[in-house]
Amino acid sequence: MKEIKQALVKAGNDVRAIGPMAPSITNFVTIDFVANAQIAVGGSAAMVYMVDEGETVADIAKCIYINVGTLMPSHGDTMTAAAKRAYEKSAYVLDPVAIGIGELRTKLLEGMKDYPPKIVRGNASEIISLAKMWGLIDSEKGAVRGVDSTDTVESATASAEALAKFIDGAVCVSGKEDIVTDGTRTIRSFGGSEYFARITGSGCSLGGVCAVYASVTDPFTAALAATNAYNVAGKIAEGEAKGTASFKVAFLDALSNLTGEDIANCEMEAL
């Protein structure tokens, strides 16, 4: 755990020092939150939707974020082109929002198996469903209800580990308690807030922040840094919030004030 904490401190401080741009192709419901969270941790945001823009940012950025929620027809071409280019030139974080709902989303996610991301971020049901879609597990679980999970984080651990090994990267499963795994190391991260489930974009913005940290470090450290940052900032914000709106403001404030040491000192345990 000592080496992991040292890597987390470095990742947090490097992002503040470098300010890496992590472009996103994300759903329009959460654009503002994703961008502001990326900026709050010390990164830079760019939201793109056109095919040529997606390919361009995959060339110039070290990591991009692709979120398949609230799809538009043009996303079929843009996300595919960006994911392929990022797979070849850089890296990308995938958030398989509402997997299994709709033909376009299913086609997109099935295709990404051939050019996989370096980080997958999702709730338990989404992680189980993606692992099953890609033929990595055999499970009857993984049903999604809109963007909500019908499974527990613990039940998704085996799926997360299988996915992480397949992509040679990391998977973070978000829930009441979060896990991050590279297929060999699996860490549970504690903290956060019940308010996360009551605001739009907490999971989406976490994926965007994963991409920021992945611009300066390896996938496992990046995914754990982002998860810890959210758990520390969420806990702080909950203590100051009067409701969902004030929580969101307090959360971004807390996120913007975190140091690498704060991220590393989040309560964790190895599984």
Helix then strand count (H, E) for the chain reads 11, 10
Confirm whether residue 201 is marked as ligand binding.
yes
Annotated ligand binding at 174? The verdict is yes
- What phi and psi, each to the nearest 5 degrees, are found at residue 74? -65, -20
User: What one-letter code names the amino acid at 162?
Assistant: A
Find out whether 42 is annotated in a ligand binding site.
Answer: no
Q: How far apart are CA 109 and CA 144, in angstroms?
A: 15
Residue 140 Cα distances to 136, 146, 236, 238, angstroms: 13, 18, 38, 36
> What is the 3-state secondary structure of 49-118?
CCHHHHHHHHHHCCCEEEECCCCCCCHHHHHHHHHHHHHHHCCEEEECCCCCCCHHHHHHHHHHHHCCCC
105 is in an annotated binding site: no
Q: How many CB atoms lie within 10 A of CB 107?
A: 12
Residue set of the binding site for substrate: 47, 201
Residue set of the binding site: 47, 121, 174, 201
Residue set of the binding site for ATP: 121, 174
